[in-house]
Every structure is written in C-alpha cells, then in structure tokens.
Chain A
Amino acid sequence: MDKKNVTKILNDSSLERRDAQLYPLVYDNLHLIAEKLYAREKKGHTLQPTLLVNEAYMSLVDQDHIDWKGRSHFFAVGAQAIRRILVDHARKKNANKRGAGAQRIDLEEGIAYTPEKEGNLLDIDEALEHLERVHERQAKVVELKFFGGMKMQEIADELGVSIKTIEIDWKVAKAWLKKFMQSDI
C-alpha cells in the first residue's frame, strides 16, 4: 500500500470522489489485518476494532504530511470499513443472534470483539441500520465512536457540527439503541 497515495487522497479535499477512492484502500488494509487476527483466533481472544483502525492509520498514512482533517476523515472511513468487516465475518460464521438484552453491551468502551460476541455484534449492526433510517447523524456518531474509537471533538469536526451536538447525539443514540435492542426480541 502506498502511503503517499493515501495521504494525498486524504489531503486532497477538492476531490469529490475522495471517499470512493479511499474506502477500498482502507477496507483492504483493515481486512488484511483482521484476517491475520482471525486466523490466529482463539477462544476468548479479543480483537479491538479501534486498535485495528489505528493500526491501519499507522500503516497507510504518512503522518508528517497530514492535518487534523485528514486524520479524522481517515478514522471515519476506517470506522465504516471495520464495521463492515466485523459484520461480514460474523455473518460468514453463521453466528446466531443472541437475542436482545441477553448480554449487556458496553458501548462506552468501544466494542471489544470476541467470537462469543459475534451475535451481539450483529444485533448492534442491525440496530444501527434502524437508527440510520431514523436519524442518520446519530447513527454516524455511534459508528465513528464505537467502531472508529474517535474522540468527541474529532467526530464533531468530521461531521461539521458542534461538540455539544455530538454529545447529545451520542447520549440519545445510546438510549435509543438499548431501547431498540430490548424491544426487538
């Protein structure tokens, strides 16, 4: 993967198809990292998506030539990619849905992936899809924070709204997701 290439895409804010170019690169890289980890997967093994995204950032981006905007955008794309990877993997393994509320989900800490939690992951993914339909920005906030491990300020900058807005979005979205997963048995 060419570091300069990714960095250039990130810095080139005029490119309208930036995401379209960036996403496959980030996805491939993350997928590669994740596959390696899956191959070594053991019971009780945890895999933290936010760490993976970080790792991808380190390997894909030339950090000396990127500004905050590029960085936060990379993480936004990364969050999207890792979500897809995790969910696909869970589906492939035919993981059963756990049923809502069977396991407490600590959205606060970001997801910590274990094979046992795959069903759970699918629940969250599904709930998020529903939230996207109801309130797109709130769903995005959850994705960025949960899968991308981004900070509130970074999310605010990425989405172009105030940090206060993000904070409220996060709180309401969490409440909504919990409520949704509890009711949807």
Chain B
Amino acid sequence: MNDQSLHEKSSEILAKVLDLPFQEAIKKINELSESDEQLRKETLALYNEIYAEEVEKDNNTDETTFTKTKLIGRKDSVFRSKVVSSWTKNLFGNKRNRLILVIFFLLLLLSGGILSGGYIRNNILASEKEEKIALINTTTEIFQRWLQYEKEKIKSFAEQETIVRFSKSIDSLENLDESYQLLRGSKTAVEVTKWLKKNKKSSGYGIISLLSNSSPKDLLSTSIVDSTGVTKMFGADLGEIIYKDYLRARTGEVVFIPPINNLDLINNYDKGVEKQAWINFLCPVFDENGEVKTILCGSYLAIKGFSNILKVSKHGATSETYAFNEDGKMLSSSRFTEQLRNTHLLEFDANAETIYNIDLRDPGVNVMKGATPRLQKVAQPYTEIVEMALNRIKANDSTFTGAIMEPYRDYRGIEVIGAYVWLPEYNFGIITEEDYEEALASLMYFKYTFIVFFTVILLLSFLLFNSNVRIARIGKKVDDFSVLGQYKLKEKLGEGGFGQVFKAEHTFLKTPVAIKVLKTEFVNTDMLERFEKEVKITSSLSHPNTIKVYDYGTTDDNNFYYVMEYLNGISLDKVVNMNADIPLARGIYILYHLCLSLKEAHEKGLVHRDIKPMNVMLCDQGGAFDLVKLLDFGLVKEVDTSISQQTQINRIGGTPMFMAPERIRDPFNADQRVDIYSIGALGMYLFSGQYLLELISQKMLSGEQTLQGDFRSQLIERKDIPTDLSNFLGECIRFDPNKRPESIDVLIAFFEEKNKEYPWTRQDAKNWWNTYDVYS
C-alpha cells in the first residue's frame, strides 16, 4: 500500500471517529482498520495527535485568553481588571445578586444613618445634660447667694435697736396677757405697726410682720392695717405647713420659707384677700440676754424676687427653670404663664399665677393644645423628674441632683428632658427643662437631611436597579435572540438581501431547522397580513422539491421570521462556480425538478418570483443525492426589490439576472410567466456558467448587430447541449411574456422528455457527492 492510499484511508477512518468519545474512537479505529496493521498504526498515531491537541486546547483555554489579554494592557492591570471584572460579574451578573447587593447597600446606609443618628443624639443629650446641670448649679449658686444676702439683711434688720426694743415690749405685753388683748389694744401695737410700715419701703419687703415667740401666731404686721392702726391679722394662727419653720426660727435660726400661698400661710385668712404666693424670711429678734423676744418675718411676693432669679436662666424657645416643693407644686412663675392661663391648669383664670397653683403632675395629654386629661388631678402621677426628686428625698440617700435625658411629659403634657437639684436646707428644688424637640432640633435636622438623602439614594438605587435590569434584559434579549419561539438559534448560515438565515434546533425535538429572519420591519399591518397569507400558502406546499416551511412569527424587535426544513446541501450557485461544467443530464434533472416544485405552487396561485441559483439547493438528504430544493417561495419579494435591489443591481450575481423584465419594472407582478422566464435564465446559466446579460453582451461584442432572431438559442456555446434544449430555453426567456411557453406544464413535459433522453441516475449523483462531501 502506498503512502497516498494509506493516508486517504486513515483520513476516511478519522472522519468517522472524530466526533466520538476517546474510547469509542479507538475501538472504532481498530475495528475499521481490521487486519491492516500499518493502517491501524498510522490512524492511531494521527488520532492521538488530534486528540492531544484538543485536550490541550481545552486545558489552555484560560491560558490563551490570558495571553491574548496580555497584549492589550500590562499584565498586572489586566490581572486586576480580570479580578475586578470577575467580581463585578459575580456581583452584578444576575438579577438576584444585584438586588441583594442593592438591598445590602441600602441596609448598610440605613443602619449607618441610624447608628450615626443615635451617636449624634447621644452626643447632643450628653451635652444637654451637662448644660442642664451647669444651669441648675448656676441657678442654685445664685439662689444661695441671694438667700445669704436676704438672711443677712433680715438679721441686721432684726438687730436694730428699735426692733429689739419693740420686741421686748411686745413680749412683756404678751406675757402679761396671754390672750393678746392687752397687746392688741396697746399703744405699742400701733406704734410698732407704724414703724414697721415706715421701714417697709426702705427694706424692700412686701410685708413685715412680728410673730409671737410663744405660739405660732402673727402679731403685728404691715398687712391690712385697719382703722385701729393694727393689722387685721393680729393674733391669727400661722398655717400648719410653716410650723416647722417657725419652730426652727424660735430656736434662733434664720429661716427661709419657699413660696407659700397666703391662704396656707395664715389659718382662717380673710377669704376676701386675693390669692397670692409669698416667700418669707423668719428671723428671731434677740434681747441683750440672747433670748428670742419675737420673730421677725420679712415677706416678698414670690412672683417678684424669687421667680425673677429663675427667669434669668430662661433661654431658647422652650427651656425654663422653675422651683418646686415637697408637694410637687410649682413655686415660681412659668415662662408659659400666659398660655397656661388659657388652660384648665390655671383654671382659665386670666390673672392667675403659676406659683403654687401648678401641680407638677403628668396630665398624660398635651394640655397646651387644649386636651383634657383623663384623670383627676390628684390621680395623675407626678412628672417623672419630680417623682424622681421626691423619691430621693424620701429615700434620704443624700442624693439631691438628677437628670432625665429620655423624653418624659412635663406638667404641660409635652415631652421634655430635664435636670433637677433639691436644696434640703431650704426645702425646695429647682428643675430645668427643655422640650425634647428643641433639645434635639439639630438631631431633627440631621434626621430630615438623612431621610431626604436616603430617599434620593433609594430612588436612585431603584432606578439603577431597574436600568440594570433593563440592561440585563437587553442582554437577555441578545441571548433570547438565540431563541425564537420553539427554536434555538445556532450558527448563521448566510446573509441575503433581506434577511439572515440561521441554523436552529427545535427546543424539544432537537430537529435541525433553518430560520430566516427578515431584516425589514413590518411598518404596517397591511404588509404583515399579506406576508402571513403568503407564509400560509407556502407552508401548504408539500412537493418534495419545495423547501418545507414549518412555522413563522415575529421577533421582539418586530422582525418577521419563518422556520424551514434544514437542508444538507450546496447551493446551485456554488455548483455552477465549481471548475467542472455541469453535466447535461444533471442540468436537465435540476430544471425538471424545479418545474415540478413550481407546478404545485402555480396551481395554488403562488408565484415564486425570485428563482435564481442561490435559491436552489442540491441536497444529500439521508442518502437521497442531488435532491433539488427550491427555496424562498414568494415571500415579500416586493420589499427586497424596492429596497435593496438598487444596490444589488450593480453587482454581478445579483438577483435581477434571472428576473423577467416585466418583473423588474413591476415588483408586484405576480404573473406565473415570470417564473418561466427565470427557469429559462437559470437553464442558460447552468449550461453556460454565465449570466444571460453577459452572454448577450458577449454576443454583441463579437459582432452581432441586433438582438433579433433566434440569438437566444445560440447563447450557449457548449457543444453537448442539444439544439432543441437551447431553443426551448430561449423561448422561456422571451421578453414578451405572451411568447413564452404558456404554463409550467409545458416545461414539465419538455424536461421530462429530455430527462428520459439524458437520464441522471442515482449513481451519477452519488459519484458527484462522493467528490464533494468526501468523508460522508
């Protein structure tokens, strides 16, 4: 066996095994080479080379892509971009991941916002707390200095000689008559009262009184002096709540009494007197022996001295500092007095003061807005800060300051934060409060800013996500493009004037099909309807020489497509262009079968209108060699002609070479005789290898003067072509349709006869296919 046939044989064997898995391929090679050891060895060696290369290719896929990318950029940047791209691919690659990423990002942002919001809030509150405590301390300090001053003042007042003298005589009169009648009627009483009244103004007190040293009674006072020159309050019992203070004063202390209502100050106080809160300083008046003779009481209207100190510390829009007592009563004037007068807290009394009239209890609702609390005043709990202060006093753990930075409702029912201090030596406390809203105003700004910011981000993320999805959808569309209806597109088979042809596969059956996607968009439904009609007729064509149309539809971007049977074959165009001439018998055979295909169509009223070598396939369908198939029946030729013909007309090989003249002039011409012309032109082409136009121009160049006579039948130069055949083809290409054979039946009859005369056998066809599709 020589090298040539050895190689040929092993090539043939290899062709059969290349698609098989390795083991099977080896087995098959052994099988096919049978006893021929040399052939077996050679084939196996070649197969090993091929197999090794394929394995290597598989392994190196990554590497080769890497080395390719290396050419583009520097190694590290490529690597980096690779890493980045693989990351981004993972992160953004699919919709779910992207959604998770977006949600994750939003959550991160939100929690970041909440965390920093909390941090800011804590910071604000911490500084608020410090501020409040400082304020309380300052206020306390001022209070203490003021009290110190007042105490000194009353002390020096009590040490005046006149007062001491008066006190001594009062005491002696008191001692003489325990019912005080003597004192009441005495000249001393009038004199003392007069003196006190005289000194009242200079001392600044609202009222100056002298109390008995033996029992808690008011004796002489500048208040409500009647016609006798003595006060109406003479001998009035002091209110029980100040007994304690009275007793302390009697033992020699200077005592400060926080604001007390005049009604509580004196028992059986004249009810006609206006309700007023007073602060009092009690100071014992000593004689030379250090005995307490009387107790001097200097009184101020609480609204003046006391409250004013607290008013100083007011700032902002809502912060206020006020004093309170053991009973949880407000002891100073509120900055909201005006507003409070319009509420039930001050009983809608336009003149009422807050001092002593406001119970520091939580109404549970915002009283300032006119809401009525559900509970009776006594049933309401103290405000949190008062509760806290009072509890501490009761616990007696000597903690007298505190702050509440979590919002709680104050006496107005508005959420506040606050701090307090209790002054045990004076029996009152100071609270400073500020509306929570104001205190955290900056936090609010932060929150609003954050909410706005977050909303914008949210919106953007949504848009981004949506657009990503849209991009992904477009990407998917590109992928989807490989799926049309039930069919999965595979490789492109070709591209024509008005469409692309793809090899495709039925999704379930896996049967190969060809799909033609028409480029032209169907702008109007009229056109679409006509096309649908045509597809329906075409799909009803069942002749074996006609390509089978299975299905049609429109793509997402409104392009029409139709599904045809997949043909394993070669276009007639290519066959003609091969070096060897087409045998006469084969040519007749092809023309005959084309006419058979056309017969069915013409009977159904369908005209092909575009018969040309490109639209004729010679196929090997399961061993049926040279099966003629006519493609592209009648479908939207108008579109093709009107739009792309202009560009094609200049090109040799373009469609018009096979078109009847009247069809070129009128693209909508649906006369069956245009097909007869085309068959004739096709026949000319088959036997001459040249286009009709070329044939004619050659004839003219070689001296033929006119196109008269039977020049048509002389166009074919091949000597083996019988004259009646070339004459008949010449008849078919008459420019006047009426002069052509009248119907396809005439053509069939003619070619049938010729076919008998020059038979193209299966063996002839097979021989040709063996040289064309060598390894099949």
Contacts and interface: CB of A to CB of B under 8 A. Distances in A.
A52 to B, nearest CB: 20
Contact of B53 (A14, A65, A168, A174): A174
Interface residues of A, number: 27
A172 B53 contact: no
B394 to A, nearest CB: 96
Nearest to A177: B49
**Interface majority SS on A: helix, strand, loop or mixed?**
helix
What DSSP secondary structure best describes chain B's contact surface? helix
26 contacts: A11-B652, A64-B650, A64-B651, A65-B652, A135-B11, A157-B574, A160-B579, A161-B771, A161-B773, A161-B774, A162-B772, A162-B774, A164-B773, A164-B775, A165-B773, A165-B774, A168-B11, A168-B15, A168-B18, A171-B14, A171-B18, A172-B14, A172-B46, A174-B53, A175-B46, A175-B53
Contacts of A169: 11, 774
Interface of A: 11, 13-14, 64-65, 67, 69, 133-135, 137-138, 157, 160-162, 164-165, 168-169, 171-172, 174-176, 178-179
B771 A176 contact: no
Contacts of A14: 689-690
Given A160-B772, A179-B49, 16 more contacts: A67-B651, A134-B3, A135-B7, A135-B11, A157-B574, A161-B771, A161-B772, A162-B772, A164-B776, A165-B775, A168-B11, A168-B15, A168-B774, A171-B14, A176-B49, A178-B49
B775 A176 contact: no
Contacts of B53: 174-175, 178
Contact of A133 (B3, B50, B653, B774): B3
B46 A179 contact: yes
Contact of A176 (B46, B650, B776): B46
Nearest 8 CB-CB pairs, A to B? A175-B49, A160-B578, A162-B773, A175-B46, A134-B7, A165-B774, A168-B15, A67-B653
B4 interface: yes
B570 interface: yes
B577 interface: yes
B757 interface: no
A112 to B, nearest CB: 12
A11 B305 CA distance: 120
A172 B11 contact: yes
A174 B570 CA distance: 26
A169 B15 CA distance: 9
Contact of B772 (A67, A165, A171): A165
A179 B577 contact: no
Contacts, number: 79
B8 interface: yes
Interface residues of B, number: 32
A160 B650 CA distance: 26
A80 to B, nearest CB: 16
B652 A168 contact: no
B480 to A, nearest CB: 27
Contacts of A138: 11
Contacts of B47: 175
A69 B652 CA distance: 11
A134 B46 contact: no
Interface in B729-751: none
Contacts of B101: none
A9 to B, nearest CB: 14
Interface in B754-776: 771-776
B45 interface: yes
A168 B775 CA distance: 8
A13 B577 contact: yes
B14 A168 contact: yes
A131 B419 CA distance: 104
A178 B689 CA distance: 41
Contacts of B46: 172, 175-176, 179
B50 to A, nearest CB: 5
A67 B577 CA distance: 11
B378 to A, nearest CB: 100
B40 to A, nearest CB: 15
A135 B8 contact: yes
Interface in B563-611: 570, 574, 577-579
User: Which of B574, B579, B771, B774 has its CB near the most chain A CB atoms (within 10 A)?
Assistant: B774
A135 B50 CA distance: 17
A165 B772 CA distance: 8
A129 to B, nearest CB: 13
Contacts of B11: 135, 138, 168-169, 172
Contacts of A176: 7, 46, 49
Nearest to A16: B579
Contacts of A162: 570, 772-774, 776
B690 to A, nearest CB: 7
Given A157-B574, A165-B773, A174 B50 contact: yes
A148 B652 CA distance: 25
A107 to B, nearest CB: 10
Given A67-B651, A161-B773, A13 B689 contact: yes
Nearest to A68: B653
